[in-house]
Amino acid sequence: MTLREKAELAERAARASGAMLEKHDPFKVKRKSENDFVTEMDFKSEALIREMLLTACPEDAFFGEETGGEMSAEGRWVVDPIDGTSNFMRGHRLYTISIAYQFKGELAVGCVYCPGTDELFLAVKGEGATLNGRPIRVSGTSNPRDALVHLGFGHRIPVNRERTLRVFPTLLKAVSDVRRSGTAAYDLCCVADGRSDGYVELGLNLYDYAAGCVILTEAGGTVSGWEDGEDGLATGNVIATNGILHEAIRRALI
C-alpha cells in the first residue's frame, strides 16, 4: 500500500470514528491521574480505528493512547482516539481524532479530524497538506506583535504547569493574543492552515502531536523543542510555528 493509500485509509477510519462519537449514548468517565480523564468512548474509538487499520494493513504495528502497542514492524500507526477528551466529555465541540503513520521511525502520514467542525486535515510526507481536500499553507505573519499563538498548559504534570505559568506573561506581552483549544492536534492544524501563527506546549505524548506535526511541516511550518537544539518530536516539548516567527516565539518562552 502506498503512503497516499495509507492516508486515505486513515481518513476513512477517522471519519468512521467521528460518526460514532457524534451520536454516542451516555458514557462512563474515569480519572486516569490528576487532570487526566478517559471515557468509554475513547476505548470504543480506539478499537474501531485499530480494527479498520489492521484489517487493511495486517503487517503494520499499532500504538494507541488507551491500549498502547508495539514498535516491532517497519510501519506503525500512532493513534489518539480522542484528542481533547476533557472537551469531548463536557460537550465542547473541539475534539479531534488523530492518526499518524510512521515508516522506519519517520512520521510519514498525518490525519486529524474534528467532527464538531467537520474539518479533515491530511498530509503525506513530501506531498503537502490539505483541509477537506484543499491545499493549506502556514501564515506569512512576520511581526510577533501580530501573532496569534496557541498555548497548551502542560496541566497534567506539575513541573510543566509551573514552567508554563512562569513564561506566560512574557509570551502574552510578545504576541498579539493567546488561545487554548484543548486539543493539541487541532492547535497544530490551526497553525498549518494559517488561521494562527504558533502553538507551544510542554510534555506532550507522541500520539498527541504525531499527525499534527506531519500536517504542519507539510504546510511549510517549523517544529522544535523549547531549548536551543532540543528535538521537540523526541521530548514532546513542542514549539510549532509558521517558521518566520519561530525564534521570536521560542525566545519569548525563555
Interface residue list for ligand IPD (CB under 6 A): 65, 80, 83-85, 152, 182-184, 201, 204, 208
Q: Do 175 and 252 meet the contact criterion of CB atoms below 8 Å apart?
A: yes
Distances (CA, A) of 18 to 1, 24, 54, 82: 24, 10, 18, 9
Q: Do 254 and 171 meet the contact criterion of CB atoms below 8 Å apart?
A: no
* CB-nearer residue toward ligand IPD: 68 or 133: 68
Among 249, 38, 213, 57, smallest CA distance to 123 is for 213
Q: Is 119 helix (H, G, I), strand (E, B) or coil?
A: strand
**Smallest distance from ligand IPD to CB 34, Å:** 12
Measured from each CB, the residue nearest to ligand IPD is 184
Q: Residue 94 contacts by C-beta under 8 Å, 6 or more apart in sequence?
A: 84, 87, 114, 116, 117, 181, 182, 183, 186
**Smallest distance from ligand IPD to CB 209, Å:** 8
**Smallest distance from ligand IPD to CB 63, Å:** 14
Among 13, 77, 15, smallest CA distance to 48 is for 13
The phi, psi pair for 161, rounded to 5°, reads -65, -45
* CB-nearer residue toward ligand IPD: 152 or 232: 152
Q: Is 25 exposed, middle or buried (0-12, 13-18, 19+ CB in 10 A)?
A: exposed
* The residue count for the chain: 254
**What's the start-to-end Cα distance of the chain, in Å?**
44
**Smallest distance from ligand IPD to CB 84, Å:** 5
* CB-nearer residue toward ligand IPD: 182 or 220: 182
* CB-nearer residue toward ligand IPD: 155 or 246: 155
**Smallest distance from ligand IPD to CB 117, Å:** 16
* CB-nearer residue toward ligand IPD: 208 or 218: 208
* CB-nearer residue toward ligand IPD: 86 or 176: 86
**Smallest distance from ligand IPD to CB 165, Å:** 14
* CB-nearer residue toward ligand IPD: 3 or 89: 89
**Smallest distance from ligand IPD to CB 104, Å:** 26
* C-alpha angle 87-35-168 in degrees, rounded to nearest 5: 85
